[in-house]
Amino acid sequence: MGMVPSPACGGGLGRGPARPSNGSHPTIFCMSALSWHFPPSLVEAELLNLLPALSTDAARGLRHLREAMRYGTLGGGKLTRPQLLLEAAFAVGGANFDPRKALGAACALELIHSYSLIHDDLPAMDDAQTRRGQPCCHIVWGEATAILAGDALQTLAFEAVTHCETDAATVLKVVRLIAQAAGEAGMAGGQAIDLDWTRDGGSRAISPAQLTQLHALKTGALIRVAAHAGAVLGGGNGSQIEALRCYGENLGRAFQLWDDVLDVIGDPQITGKASSDAQNDKMSAPVVFGLENAQRLAREASETAVAALQEFGNEAQTLRNLARFVVERNK
C-alpha cells in the first residue's frame, strides 16, 4: 500500500508543509467545547424558520414530506458546516461581522448535508438503519418520502442562500460555489464514485490517490465550500479567501479520513450510526492505507489545515481548534 503525500492546497499559493503537532493544545472531544463566535443555536433557530411548518390541514403525503425534512435535518447533527462557514466569515470580517449576512448560506450547507445523509442511508446506497442515534429517515418515513425529502431539502438550501442579507453579486457568487460543491463536481460526483467502487465488491484495487480524490469530492467539497463561502461572505481579500479555501480543503480531507477511522474504532452508541464500511466492502481509508496510517494522514491533514491559517491571528483560533477536534472526535 503506497502513501500519498499530504496534499498541498490545490490552486497554488504554497503554504509550506504540515507542522507536526506539538501536543500543546487541549484535547477537544465535543463541538460545544469550541469557542464559537456565533452560537449553534443561531443556526438551529434559522433552520427552524426555513423548514416547513407542520400543519394538520395539508394532504397526508405533504405532511409526511414536511415531517421527513425536519426529521432528517433537526436530528442532532454536529452542525460542522454551518458553524465553519460562520467562523470563516468571522475570521475575515472581525468582531463587527453581522452573521445575518451569512446565516442563510450557513443553513444551506446543513440542508444539503442533511439531504446527502438521507440519500446516503437509502438501501440503494449504504443501506443504513441508524443515523444520529435514531432510525434513518427512510426507515421512519419510507424510501419514496426520504428521496423526496432530500430533493426538497436541496432546493430549500438554495432558497436559503437568497436570505443572506448582503449584496446580490455576493449571493450569486455563493450560489455558484455551493452548487458546484454539491453537484457532480463535488458531493454527488463523489458519492457516484464511492458507489461504483462499492459495487465492485471490494475486488478493485483503489490507489491512495484515487481514494484521496473520492474523499475530496464526496465530503471535502462541502466542507471546503463552507470555509470558502464564509470567507467571501465575510468580505475577505484574495489572500484570505485562498487561505480559508486551503484550510477547508485539508479540513475536509481530515474529516472523511477520521469518519472512516471511526467506522472501525468508533462506538456506535456515541457515533449514532452502526459500522458499515467493512460489511459494504467500502474502499475506506483503513482498507486502502491501513488503520494507523489513516489516523496519521488525518492528523497531518488537520495540521496542514492549521498551517494554512498562518496569516491570521487570534480571530482564527476557533478554526484551528476545529481542525484539531475533527481528528480527536469520537462522533
CA 204 – CA 178 distance, rounded (Å): 32
Non-local (6+) Cβ contacts of 45 within 8 A are: none
Binding to Mg ion by residue 126, rule CB under 5 A?
Answer: yes
By the rule CB under 5 A, 217 interacts with Mg ion: no
Q: Name the maximum alpha-carbon separation found in the chain.
A: 60
Match 452502526 to its residue by C-alpha cell: 274
Task: Determine contact, residues 137/121, Cβ cutoff 8 Å.
Answer: yes
Q: Is the distance from CB of 114 to CB of 73 less than 8 angstroms? A: yes
Q: For Mg ion, which residue of 46, 87, 110, 120 counts as binding (CB under 5 A)?
A: 120
> Exactly one of 249, 259, 300, 303 binds Mg ion (CB under 5 A); which one?
259
The smaller minimum CB distance to ligand IPE, of residues 13 and 45, is found at: 45
Count of residues engaged in binding Mg ion, rule: CB under 5 A: 4
How far apart are alpha carbons 72 and 114 in whole angstroms? 6
Quote the DSSP letter at residue 57.
T
Shortest gap between Cβ of 206 and Mg ion (angstroms)?
15
Task: Pull the grid cell for residue 319.
Answer: 478554526
46 binds ligand IPE (CB under 6 A): no
Q: Which stretch binds ligand IPE (CB under 6 A): 36-44, 126-134, 199-207, 286-294?
A: 126-134
Distance set, CA 267 to CA 74, 133, 197, 274, 330 (Å)? 22, 11, 26, 8, 8
State which of residues 15, 64, 70, 218 lies at the interface with ligand IPE (CB under 6 A): 218
The distance of closest approach from Cβ of residue 7 to Mg ion in the complex, given in angstroms and rounded to an integer, is 20
Binding mask 137-156 for ligand IPE (x = CB under 6 A): --------------------
Q: Which does 187 bind (CB under 5 to 8 A by kind): ligand IPE, Mg ion, none?
A: ligand IPE
Contact by Cβ (8 Å): 283, 214: yes
Given a contact cutoff of 8 angstroms between Cβ atoms, the answer to whether 131 and 268 are in contact is: no
By the rule CB under 6 A, 295 interacts with ligand IPE: no
**Residue 212 binds which entry of Mg ion, ligand IPE, none, with Cβ cut-offs from 5 to 8 Å by kind?**
none
For residue 17, give the amino acid letter: P
Chain residues that interact with Mg ion, rule: CB under 5 A: 120, 126, 259, 263
Q: Which residues bind ligand IPE (CB under 6 A)?
A: 77-78, 80, 113, 116-117, 120, 126, 128, 132, 187, 191, 218-219, 256, 259, 273
